[in-house]
Amino acid sequence: MTANKPDYHVPVMLQECIDALEIKADGVYIDVTFGGGGHSQEIFKKLNAKGRLIVFDQDPDARKNAWEAPNFDFVAANFAYISNHLRLLGVEKVDGILADLGVSSHQFDKEDRGFSIRGEANLDMRMNQNGELTAKSVVNEYSEEELLRIFKAYGEVSNAWKLVNAIVNARLNGKIKTTQGLLDIITPCAPKFKEHKYFAQVFQAIRIEVNDEMGVLQGFLEATEEVLSPKGRLVVMSYHSLEDRMVKNYMKRGAISGKIEKDFFGNVLKPFDEIVRHPIVANEEELERNSRARSAKLRIAERNG
């Protein structure tokens, strides 16, 4: 097993995630966001020869961090299709699933990927570099109505109309091709002294649209009901309120929408029981060591049955 590359991605709340999974040595576990392999390696260390670890990552860069072992499988795919891939691997049920959502440090730090507001890069933002939709396509080809939708829903941008008008007017003079080009256009829209937060909201909205992050998360969450064994653990770490709300609703109420369904006797119909009522957050020591942990929220649930 290779060592985790700290420059690729520093795993957030590592021990908390491992503890939450309650790993059995002969169990079957899934890490749907492999990345630098930090969380996966700690899971794998706790397994014996009868145990099995299956990891997912659609980013080709992550494949370089994998290792060879009879009880280790790397699936180069989006985790929305977890059920299909488990069937292909001959796996019916698993004992635990870990998801560390969002963009890895590696993806942010590689400026040519276009995720960061630092530096100059092509407007890309694809987690799967074989995907067709790019940030450049969104910024230059989406209608005013479509742009308004993503900036309101995914970026929670307060002056979305002003932002959209600035982008639409700018692209009349030629395609917006780079991250810096986009920043130059949207800077006049940013509230004074809150520019950095504003840019982050805009980039987040575009990135979520490019990668269909909300659709992927919904598909994944709904699939966990089918693949987790009774008492199996679902452990999900999110980094913004949109993700966390979906995870919370699904774990607490059994539906992404948050709508509660009851049976004839008034019992709430939901596939999971929450292990923690409130999300776990990083302690001060970790925050000093890893600033990315500041926005992380860890939720844990157990499969009914």
CATH number for the domain including 232?
3.40.50.150
What is the predicted pLDDT for the residue at 115?
A: 67
- Residues 99, 183 share a domain: no
Residues 96 and 231 reside in one and the same domain: yes
26 and 161 both lie in a single domain: no
290/229: higher pLDDT: 229
pLDDT at 83: 94
Phi and psi torsions of 159, nearest 5° = -110, 50
* Range in 40-49, 236-245, 258-267, 278-287 with the lowest mean pLDDT: 258-267
Its pTM stands at: 0.89
Domain enclosing residue 121, as ranges: 111-211
Q: What is the pLDDT of residue 87?
A: 95
Domain-ending residue, one of 159, 187, 211: 211
pLDDT (mean) for 258-276:
86
pLDDT tens sequence across 88-99: 999 999 999 999
Give the domain CATH number at 189: 1.10.150.170
pLDDT at site 104: 55
Read off the pLDDT band of 114 (50, 70, 90): low
Residue in the structure block whose two tokens are 């099995």: 52
Would you say residue 5 lies in a domain? no
- pLDDT-derived band at 3, boundaries 50, 70, 90: very low
Contact call for residues 147 and 167 (beta carbons, < 8 A): yes
Residue 1 falls inside a structural domain = no
Q: What is the mean pLDDT of residues 115-144?
A: 88
Q: Is residue 201 domain-shared with residue 115, that is, in the same domain? A: yes
Report whether pLDDT(168) > 80.
yes
Average pLDDT, stretch 76-82?
Answer: 90
Please state the rounded mean pLDDT for residues 228-251.
95
* Residue 217, pLDDT above cutoff 90: yes
Residue 260 and residue 123 share a domain: no
Measured CA angle at 125 (ends 128, 165), to 5 deg: 140
Residue 128: its pLDDT value, please?
Answer: 80
Asked if 220 and 81 sit in the same domain, the reply is yes
Look at residue 281 and tell me whether its pLDDT is greater than 80: yes
pLDDT (0 to 100) of residue 1: 61
DSSP, res 268:
B
Range in 2-11, 178-187, 197-206, 221-230 the model is least confident about: 2-11
> Which of 169, 196, 211 delimits the end of a domain?
211
Asked if the structure places residue 25 within a domain, the reply is yes
Q: Which helix (H) or strand (E) holds 140?
A: helix 135-141
- Is 5's pLDDT higher than 80? no
What was the pLDDT predicted at 263? 81
* Residues linked to residue 300 through DSSP beta bridges, in sequence order: 235
Query: What is the reported pLDDT for 260?
Result: 85
Residue with the bigger pLDDT between 7 and 25: it is 25
Average pLDDT over residues 257-282: 88
Cβ-proximal residues to 112 (8 Å cutoff; 6+ apart), any chain: 121, 122, 124
Same domain, 179 and 271: no
Contacts of 235 (CB under 8 A, 6+ apart): 17, 20, 21, 96, 97, 98, 99, 298, 299, 300
Task: Let me know whether 252 and 286 are in one domain.
Answer: yes
Res. 107: pLDDT tops 70 = no
Same domain, 202 and 241: no
In the DSSP assignment, the letter for residue 188 is: G
Helix (H) or strand (E) holding 272: strand 272-274
Does residue 10 have a pLDDT over 90?
no
pLDDT for res 18: 97
How many domains are there within the chain? 2
| Same domain membership, residue 224 and residue 174 | no
Quick one: pLDDT at residue 266?
Answer: 80
Task: Kindly state whether residues 205 and 233 are assigned to the same domain.
Answer: no
Residues 275, 199 within the same domain: no
> Looking at residue 187, what is its pLDDT?
96
Where does a domain end: 211, 227, 253?
211
Mean pLDDT of the chain: 91
> How far apart (Å, rounded) are the C-alpha atoms in residues 137 and 177?
9
172 pLDDT more than 90? yes
Q: Per-residue confidence at 291, pLDDT binned at 50, 70, 90? A: confident
- Token pair, residue 209, equals 């649209």
